[in-house]
Structure formats: C-alpha cells, structure tokens
Chains A and B, each alone.
Chain A
Amino acid sequence: MSDIDIPALRAELRAWLAAHWQVDQGLVAWREKLVESGWGMPHWPREWHGRGLPVACVSALEEEFEAMGAVGVARAGIRLLAAATLLEHGTDAHKQRFLRRILTGEDTWCQLFSEPGSGSDLAGATTRAEFDGTRWVVNGQKLWTTSAHHADWGLLLARTDWDAPKHTGLSFFVIDMHQGGVEVQPLKQMNGHASFNQVFLTDALVPAENQVGNTGDGWKIAMTTLAHERRNADALRRWGQGSGRAGRIYDEERAEIATVMEPYRWYPQRTGRVDLLLPRARATGRIADPALRQDLASVLMLSRASEWLAQRARHAKENGKPEGPEGSLGKLVASHVARAAARVHTAIGGMDAMLAGADGAEQGLVAEILLSVPATSIAGGTDEIQRNIIGERVLDLPREPRTDAGPFRDIPRNPPRGR
C-alpha cells in the first residue's frame, strides 16, 4: 500500500477519462472501454479486466469518476457477487466467458440458494443435480430469488451427494436461465409487492463445464458469494441513486437502475421510517398524548443510539481494530427499531391505521410501513439466528448439540412444497 502513489493514480485516471469519457455514447460501448482499460474494476487482476490495484485505492478512483460525472461498470443486483465468486473459484474459461458481460451490463444474474425447505438452514438445500454422463440434470425449487424474472444466468447451489454430510454434499453451478426447465414465478409478499421470485427447476440442464469448483465444494463457494453480499449492498445503495444529468448514456443508465431497483421500492418502509414519527405526531396532534410521548421518545432514542453504535463499529474497523460486538448487533437492533416505530405509527394513526392506499395516512405510505416491517426481523438472517450468532460468537456461549450430523439422506427435513 505504501508504494502506491494515489495522487499519481488519480491523475492517470483523470487523463484517461478526459480522453475517453463522453456523454453521447452507448452505455455498453463505454463500458467496453472501461473493461479494456481496467479502470472499471481497478482492484481486479490485470488479466481479468482490472489493474491489480489494492482495494484501498478504489474509493479515491471512484471520486474521479464522480467528479467527471462518468458512468461506471454495471453493479446492480447479484452480478458482482457472481463476478467475485467466479474470480475466486471459477476456471479461466468461466472468467473468459462471463466476467466481461457482467461488467458491461449485458448479462443479468440471480442467486439460486434459498429453498422453501431451507431458509435459515441454507445448507439443507434439497434441489438435486445429477450427472447423466455429459451434463447435470437439475430438479427442485428455489425461493426468494431477486431479479430471476429478467436474469440471464443463475448461481445455483444443489445437492449432488445425499450420502455425504449436509455441508459436503452440495455443489455449485452456473445455470442458463433461458431454458424450458426453468420456470420463474413472482412471489407476492404480505405488503402486496413482489420483490422476489420462486424458481421451479424441472430437468433443467447444466453443461459439465458450467460447474464451479469440485463436486462437494458447493457450500464453501456459496459462502464466498454471501461474504460479498454485505459490501455489495453498500455499493448498491450509492449507485442506486443514479444521476440527474442529461445525455444518452445517463438515460440508458437510469433505465437500467429503474429496472433493477423496482423490487426495492418499499425497502425504506421496512425500517419503520423513524424519520416520519415526530412530524406525523405533530401534524395529527397526537403528540399531546403522554403515553404516546413515552413510546415516541423511546423509539427516537433507540434509533439514534443504534446509529452511534454502528458508527463506533465502522470507526473501529476503519482504524484496523478487531470488529467489536457492535457490528453483529446492528441487524438485531434494526428489528427492534422497526417494530417499535411501527407500533408508534399505529398509535399516531389511530383508526386511520386500518386504512391503506389513497384513504390511508400519507397516501398509503404508513400502511406500507406497517406491512413491510415484519420483513426486517426475517430477511438476511432472522432475529433468532442473529441471537445465536451473538450468543455463540460474541458472548462465547456453548453451541447447541447438533442433530444434523451424518448422511444428509437420514436427516429429518420438510416435505416438498407444492405449487
């Protein structure tokens, strides 16, 4: 890191951008240039569309992009998780075939991990992949698959050995989503949105060369994908804001963002929207109610303090200190905040809390809050799983005795779910 001259790098990128960036060009054509130059993913290896620079340089270089208003490589959705997984575990042929079109945005990806029968216990997947001598034949059902309806490729976790223990009987594949054996149906949630899909796999085919890693390595590889998920979520939040600028390439980028972000429109509401509590309590006059004031104060305090807790965690991490318990507590405290906020929103609304849409408070936004908050304590690891993690990894409490050792075939599991 010490031998990297960041100002010189910035100047080099600035000069390159000055020579190549222009608004009046196609999004894919521009990204081809980013891929060829390596400036699109500067921390990737030189032989794979990068410049082999340390990750620590990336934020400085991103600032140069922002200063110029230049669009970056495609980042949306699962594609960068797929790229990171293939960079680490894929063959050169995989990288040759997939990475470039990931970065240009030509291909869209999805993640086929969760199943109706394996949620918190992801390693309990029962989608089966059987080798017929030339290719893998896949049967099963996947769930919670964002963007599956417009994905070109899927990262697939499937069971290849039923006699091996749970975690070692899984393998990892790249599956072509455009085939008859793959059927995608939207999954409607309790808040009326359909952000996710269920994917039915019926004799779906995966050529032998699209297996990633060795048979039995599926769990290890899936962990790589999931490890990148959190970092990607942060990047996505920044990217998802898009640009208000005029010009052909910005129009194309905005269209891309709109497609990808559409499933996430309700996401702000699942936090409980603490920001709306005080203004709504005032506007409705409910702020005069002493009982409501107590609850309102509690949730405002909890929300502020949890932000300070997160700041401390970030600060400690940036300063190279081992991550304290603050980090792993963030997810659980967010659930508490969301639930408490929903309760206060209900109290503020009174009878109006029964109404939705145009008849509901804030044109139905409050109803959407009330119906979205339950997702917070489930998605991305339930509160109960978080408590296990905190208990075992932070407080160092003993684990529960396992009852899922031995051949996977013999482990009690859920019956298959019908359509």
Chain B
Amino acid sequence: MYYGYSPEQEQFREVLARFLTERAPISAVRAQMASDRGHDPALWRALAEDLGLTGVHLPERCGGQGFGFEELCIAQEELGRALTCAPFFATSVLASGALMELASEAEQDALLPALIAGERLAALAWMEEDGQVAADATTLGATRSGEAATLSGHKHYVIDGLAADLLLVVARDSADGALGLYAVNADSPGLTRRALATIDTTRRLAALEFDGCVARPLGAGRDFAAGFARLMDRATIALAAEMMGGARALLDQAVDYARLRMQFGRPIGAFQAIKHKLADLLLEVEVATAAVRYAAAAVDADDPEVPALASQAKAMAAEAYLKSAIDSIQIHGGIGFTWDHDSHLWFKRAKSSEVLLGDAAWHRERFLALTEAAA
C-alpha cells in the first residue's frame, strides 16, 4: 500500500515551495506570460543548479539526483501550485522521460546531462493535427540513410516546441512503417516552427514543419511501443500531479477569501451555500489527490496496474481541477472574473490540462477497458 509522504519528501516539498514563493511569485508568472520566451532563463538555471530539480528522478551518472517518480510528482505538484512558467514538463518530464524509456544508454549519456544541467531545453513532438495521444496515429515520415535520417511532415501541440534546443520527434520509417524516436536540433535547416495561440499562456504550444530535416534515429534495439506506453503513463501521472497542485492553490484561495469577504454582515464562508460548496470541493480535491499519489507511488513500486492507475489519476484530476477553477471564480464573485484577479490564470491552466494527454472521458474508457481485462 502507498501512504503519505516520508519526512524527507515533505522536506523536499517545503524547500521547493519556499523557493517558488520567493523566486516565482504570481507577479513573475504574469511577467512571463506576457514575454516572448514564456519563461525566465535565470529561474530555470536556479531550478537546475540550486535545486537539482531538472534531474530529480534521473540517473546520477547523467548528473541527476537518482530519486524516484514520487519525487518528480512532488516537484510537479509544487510547480502546478505556483503556476510556474518553466519548461519543466516539456524538458524534464516528457523529453527526459522519452530518452529514459526509448533511447539507448549511450544516447542518454550524450543527451541528458545538458538537459539536467539546464543548458539545453528539449521538447517531445509526437502529436499531430488530429491530437491523438497514441503514437500509432503518427504520419510524419522518416527516410533512413545509414546512421542518419531525414524527416518530412508536421507536428502539432508541441509543448515548449519554440523554446526547445532539442526536438525529440516520433516518426514513422517510410521503408518499413516502424515507429521510432528521432533527435533533431532546433537550428536544423528545413525546420519551421510557429507558436500556436493558446488560452493558457503559461504553457506554450508550437506547430512544427519538417521539410527534409536531418535527424538522428534513437534507441536502436529498444521496444518503441512498450517504452512509449510507459512514457505516456508516467507523463500522465506527472501532469495529474501538477494539476492537483493547481487545484489545491485554487481551493486555498477560495477558502481564504470566504473567511474574509464580508456581505450581509458576516463573512461569506459562514453561509452554508459557500461553506458546503467548499466542503464538497475539498472532498473532490482530496479524493483526486489520493488517486494521483497512489499512482505515483505505484510507478516506483513497478505495479502492473500503473496504466489503469494513470488513467484514473488523470480523469479524477481533470474533474477536480476544473471544479476548483469554476468554484473558486464563483466564490470570488465579480472580482473573480477580472483580469487583475489571479483565479483565471489557474482556470486557463486547468482548461489546457483538461484535454492534454487525453480528456477525462477518454481516460475513463481506458481505465474501464484495462479493469475489464484484469478482472
């Protein structure tokens, strides 16, 4: 069974939370939302160098900290709570995770250290315009010639695709149709990148066009399908953890406001209409958090149920985060609908997280199919 955090994990969480409160308060989030780059390189360096966050779950031989997946999820939860604008999910969860699951050890040794050191940013490009989560839908073609390959086609919804120095691209071998992971430098000729306009400007998306781009095939001899499935399950749980951090921030803000906001001669939190709404919200957030933390611990325990647990975590996190965002704005009343009030920043992240890596309905269906198969 998986229980709460150990004292060491709790301490790690507190250190990170304090760091983010000081270095990346909501005013900094607003500044980065409006910036071209979308994140603060100085903050990223500090996260990498001072806290070692970029390699918290990655092997020590590559410069990582060698902790478990639970620690990665603690980091995600805190970054989600603070709504930190940083390429952590793209570089440290998706791209580094892809290298761990799909690349050879030598390729990991060659590529991971710069990512962990905070010197380079990376993005995983696998979805195309149809937005399918599964790699099977890939149409982008790779033409092999000896050790290299050229890529032609489109990728869409690439998280931090514009900021990345290194692109890890899922492509289909035009000779045998096999799926594989390919490394492309961002400055490669034939690569065109375009920022997509997004609701949530704390999470940047890009569309990529490859026109005969030179790429390096990765992971010879590794089982792509199994590795990619593991990668997606882990990324899904990590995203759910980030979402629960955000949901908790919204809940806390709504509770604080309900204690202070006076109407009809009393704090609005004294009215059952508000009190009960908040009690229900706490329930939803706590239950979803239990599901997400259970799933995170299950990854470290190599639990065969991880695929179903990942879907459960994401489906519950999606509902809980969106409810937190809607209810928090509702409890704040008119001020909650204004640009200057912060609730909408989390609302937008909740929206973008709701559909990213599969929406709740998709995950419920997947959960049930996996549960049926196991029963």
Residue ranges of A at the interface with B (Cβ–Cβ < 8 Å): 278, 282, 287, 290, 293-294, 296-298, 300-302, 304-306, 308-309, 311-312, 315-316, 325-326, 329, 332-333, 336, 384, 386-388, 390-392, 394-401
For the complex, give the distance between the alpha carbons of A298 and B270 in Å: 32
Check B279–A391 contact: CB distance below 8 A: yes
**Other-chain residue from A282, A305, A336, A398 in contact with B316 (beta carbon distance below 8 A):** A305
Contacts of A308 in B (CB 8 A): 2, 290-291, 293-294
| Closest A residue, CB atoms, query B312 | A301
Question: By the criterion CB–CB under 8 Å, are A294 and B275 in contact?
Answer: no
Interface flag for B283 (CB, 8 Å)? yes
Q: Among B30-38, B151-159, B341-349, B362-370, which stretch is in contact with chain A? A: B362-370
The answer to whether A293 and B258 have CB atoms under 8 Å apart is no
Q: Closest CB-CB distance, B363 to chain A, in whole Å?
A: 8
**Which B residues are in CB contact (< 8 Å) with A290?**
365
A387 and B276 contact, CB distance less than 8 A: yes
Task: For the complex, count residues of B whose C-beta is within 8 A of A.
Answer: 39
Cβ-defined contact, A294 with B365, below 8 A: yes
Do B255 and A302 have beta carbons less than 8 Å apart?
no
Chain A residues in 8 Å Cβ range of B316: 301-302, 305
In chain B, positions 305-324 with a C-beta closer than 8 Å to chain A are 312, 315-316
A395 with B3, Cβ < 8 A, contacts A287-B372, A300-B368, A305-B288 known: no
* Residue in contact with A305 in the complex, picked from B275, B280, B312, CB distance below 8 Å: B312
The answer to whether A384 touches B276 (Cβ under 8 A) is: yes
Contacting residues, chain A, for B365 (C-beta < 8 A) = 290, 293-294, 297
List 14 interface pairs A-B (beta carbons < 8 Å), by A numbering: A296-B368, A300-B367, A301-B312, A301-B315, A309-B286, A316-B4, A387-B279, A390-B279, A394-B282, A395-B269, A395-B275, A397-B255, A397-B267, A400-B270
CB neighbours of A326 from chain B (8 A): 286, 290
- Which residues of chain A are near B364, meaning CB under 8 Å? 293-294, 297-298, 301
Question: A293-B368, A301-B291 in contact; A329/B286 too (CB < 8 A)?
Answer: yes
List residues of B (86-122) whose CB comes within 8 Å of A's CBs.
Answer: none
Q: B371: CB under 8 A from chain A?
A: yes
Is there contact, CB below 8 Å, between B266 and A398? yes
CA gap between A401 and B270 in the complex, in Å: 8
Q: Cα distance A299–B197 when bound, in Å?
A: 36
By Cβ-Cβ distance, the 3 closest A-B pairs, closest first, are A391-B275, A397-B269, A297-B364
User: Complex: how many Å from CA A392 to CA B255?
Assistant: 11
A399 to B274, CA, bound (A): 12
**Interface residue ranges of B270-301 to A (CB < 8 Å):** 270-272, 274-276, 278-280, 282-283, 286-288, 290-291, 293-294
| Contact with B287, one of A333, A390, A396, A397 (Cβ below 8 angstroms) | A333
Q: Of A293, A315, A387, A397, which contacts B3 at CB under 8 A?
A: A315
Q: CB distance B375 to A397 under 8 Å? A: no
Whether B3 pairs with A312 at a CB distance below 8 angstroms is yes
Given contacts A394-B279, A397-B255, 18 further A-B contacts (CB under 8 A): A293-B364, A293-B365, A301-B367, A304-B291, A304-B312, A308-B2, A309-B286, A309-B290, A315-B4, A387-B272, A388-B275, A391-B272, A391-B275, A392-B275, A395-B278, A397-B269, A397-B270, A400-B271
Residue among B267, B286, B371 with the most chain A CB within 10 A?
Answer: B286
Q: A149: shortest Cβ distance to chain B, in Å?
A: 37
For B127-139 the 0/1 string (1 means CB < 8 A from A) is 0000000000000
Structural contact, A311 and B1, CB atoms closer than 8 A: yes
Cβ of B259 within 8 Å of any chain A Cβ, yes or no, is yes
Please state if A396 and B290 are interface contacts (CB–CB under 8 Å): no
Interface of B is mostly: helix
Closest to B260 in A: A398
Name the distance in Å between B8's Cβ and chain A's nearest Cβ: 15
Rounded to whole Å, the gap between the CB of A328 and the closest CB of chain B is 9
Inter-subunit contact B258/A397 (CB<8 Å): yes
Q: Is B361 an interface residue (CB 8 A)?
A: yes
* CB <8 Å contact, A333 and B372: no
Closest to B315 in A: A301
Query: Could you tell me if A395 and B294 are in contact, using CB atoms closer than 8 angstroms?
Result: no
Which residues on B sit within 8 Å (CB–CB) of A306?
Answer: 287, 290
- Counting chain A CB atoms within 10 Å of each CB, the highest count among B258, B287, B371 belongs to B287
- A305 contacts B269, C-beta separation under 8 Å: no
A384–B294 alpha-carbon span in the complex (Å):
29
Interfacial chain A residues near B267, Cβ < 8 Å: 397-398
Known contacts A293-B365, A315-B4, A397-B278; A388/B287 CB under 8 A: no
A398-B371 in contact (CB<8A): no
B271 proximity list for chain A (CB < 8 A)? 400
**A391-B276 in contact (CB<8A):** yes
Quote the shortest CB–CB distance from B64 to chain A (angstroms). 29
Whether the Cβ atoms of A398 and B290 lie closer than 8 Å is no
Q: How far is the CB of B316 from chain A (nearest CB, A)?
A: 6
Are B280 and A387 in contact, with the CB atoms below 8 A? yes
Tell me how far the C-beta of B311 lies from the nearest C-beta in chain A, rounded to whole angstroms: 9
- A325 contacts which chain B residues (CB < 8 A)? 282, 286
Which A residue sits closest to B361, measured CB to CB? A294
Kindly report which residue of chain B lies nearest to residue A302, judged by CB atoms.
Answer: B287
Residues of A contacting B259 with CB < 8 Å? 396-398
User: How many whole Å from B283's CB to the nearest CB in chain A?
Assistant: 5
User: Which residues from 1 to 45 on chain B have a C-beta closer than 8 Å to any C-beta of chain A?
Assistant: 1-4
A297 cross-chain contacts in B, Cβ below 8 A? 315, 364-365, 367-368, 371
Do B275 and A300 have beta carbons less than 8 Å apart? no
The answer to whether A305 and B290 touch across the interface, beta carbons within 8 angstroms, is yes
How many angstroms from the CA of A392 to the CA of B274 in the assembled complex? Answer: 12
CA distance A397 to B256 in the complex (A): 9
- Whole-angstrom distance between the alpha carbons of A296 and B365 in the complex? 9
- Kindly state the separation between the CA atoms of A390 and B274 in the bound complex, as whole angstroms: 12
Given A305-B288, A401-B266, A311–B3 Cβ distance below 8 Å?
yes
- Taken together as a complex, chains A and B put the C-alpha atoms of A312 and B293 apart, in Å, by 11
Q: For the complex, give the distance between the alpha carbons of A386 and B371 in Å.
A: 32
CB–CB B4/A398 < 8 A? no
How far apart are A310's CB and chain B's nearest CB, in angstroms? 9
Cα separation A398 to B266 with both chains bound (whole Å): 9
Report Cα–Cα, A415/B52, bound state, in Å.
69
**Nearest-neighbor residue (CB-CB) of B319 within chain A:** A298
For residue B306, give the distance in angstroms from its CB to the closest CB of chain A.
Answer: 14
Chain B residues positioned under 8 Å from A387 (CB to CB): 272, 275-276, 279-280
Minimal beta-carbon separation of B159 from chain A (angstroms): 26
Interfacial chain B residues near A300, Cβ < 8 Å:
367-368, 371
A393 to chain B, nearest CB (A): 10
